[in-house]
Amino acid sequence: MRDLAKLPKAHLHLHFTGSLRLSSLREMSVEHGMGLPSALTDGVALRVPADERGWFRFQRLYDAARHCVRSEADMRRLVDEAAADDAAEGSGRLEIQVDPTSYAPFVGGITPAVEIVLDEARAASARHGVEVAVVVAASRMRHPLDARTLARLAARYAGDGPGEVVGFGLSNDERRGDTEQFAHAFRIARRAGLASVPHGGELLGPAHVQEVLGALAPDRLGHGVRSVEDPALLGSLVESGVALEVCPASNVSLGVYEREHDVPLRALVDAGATVALGADDPLLFGSRLVEQYETARTVHGFSDAELADLARASVRASRASQGTQRRLQAGIDSWLAGPDDDDGDLGAATSLSSASHRTTG
Ligand SMILES: [Zn+2]
């Protein structure tokens, strides 16, 4: 059993406030005199039913956390810690997702909000040895014209390196908003060379995935796990190379699957899908990136060779430069070629417990 924290990988599904360490959130809440609901601070992973009430509960907690991020210093701290935590978990490439709208009032608008995130992403990349690139995400809860504004803004910072915008996303409750109405924003983003990375196929099934494919031409789907319910659809995703950002802990927390075992990770991989594991919102779901790989190993029976393949897929699905991809792929080869009891069980257990300590604070 090789140490999964040493397996080089790319992390393609992590939300801005959702990445916060609980200890940092607590400090920010004290500093700003904001109360926090106990469900956020109890260190227990969220569990809600996969209905609108469940989503509402999730969103209310997320908003409570987001309201504590209310200065440039908070935003910079968040990016720095997300980079540090990712680097400690073997991530060589983080593509962090942010909707700047929520932070804009505290820093003078959406443009400064994006620029702060990008500037800190560049600095944190150098500090921690992980490339941090940014996905700008619009929200289904807001007007599609807002999404176009964000897409135009994102396009100005397009690139593939640290501190650049690599993709354009669409987040929040999949059941809300008309997907087709966001098509224009995604066209703006694609024209600028940004990856199309909307959420889809988690709360809703194959019919909605079809809709997202038609309207938004995704390069990657946030989640997409429920594509498994329609083999022909899954086949077409495999055929067209649309990668799936699969977040096992998130699926269970949001009630999409009852148990970890029910997440169709094995079925997706067996069908040939490009799967990149992600943590989504560690603050709420109680586990970070390495624990998703740990779940693949312990719950889904992935061997070290298969875990290395997952890591390779995450790197391929990233927007990292060819050079970075080659470096990470070489690191994955070395990890697999190395001894399989490198640190032994103790090493793996230690890195895991320190990861969960960070999360539960
Ligand atoms: Zn997400």
Distance (angstroms) between ligand 1 centre and the Cα of 172 equals 8
Distance (angstroms) between ligand 1 centre and the Cα of 223 equals 7
Are the C-beta atoms of residues 340 and 297 closer than 8 Å to each other?
Answer: no
- Which residues constitute the domain of residue 235? 4-360
Give the model confidence (pLDDT) of 43-98 as tens digits.
889 999 988 899 999 999 999 999 999 999 999 999 999 999 999 999 999 999 99
- The pLDDT, as a whole number, for residue 165 is 98
CATH number of the domain encompassing residue 244: 3.20.20.140
Give one DSSP letter per residue of 97-117, joined into a string.
EE-GGGTHHHHTSHHHHHHHH
Q: Is 202 a catalytic residue?
A: yes
Are the C-beta atoms of residues 293 and 332 closer than 8 Å to each other?
Answer: no
Distance (angstroms) between ligand 1 centre and the Cα of 199 equals 7
Give the model confidence (pLDDT) of 153-162 as tens digits.
999 999 999 9
Contact partners, residue 319, CB within 8 Å, separation at least 6: 95, 133, 160, 166, 167, 195
Distance (angstroms) between ligand 1 centre and the Cα of 320 equals 20
Q: 7, 36, 5: which is closest to 20 by C-alpha? A: 36
Structure tokens at 198: 């909307």
Contact partners, residue 261, CB within 8 Å, separation at least 6: 299, 300
**Which residue out of 89, 174, 202, 291 is catalytically annotated?**
202
Distance (angstroms) between ligand 1 centre and the Cα of 244 equals 12
Domains in the chain: how many in total? 1
Distance (angstroms) between ligand 1 centre and the Cα of 15 equals 6
For the segment 227-242, the average pLDDT, to the nearest whole number, is 97
Give the model confidence (pLDDT) of 180-197 as tens digits.
999 999 999 999 999 999
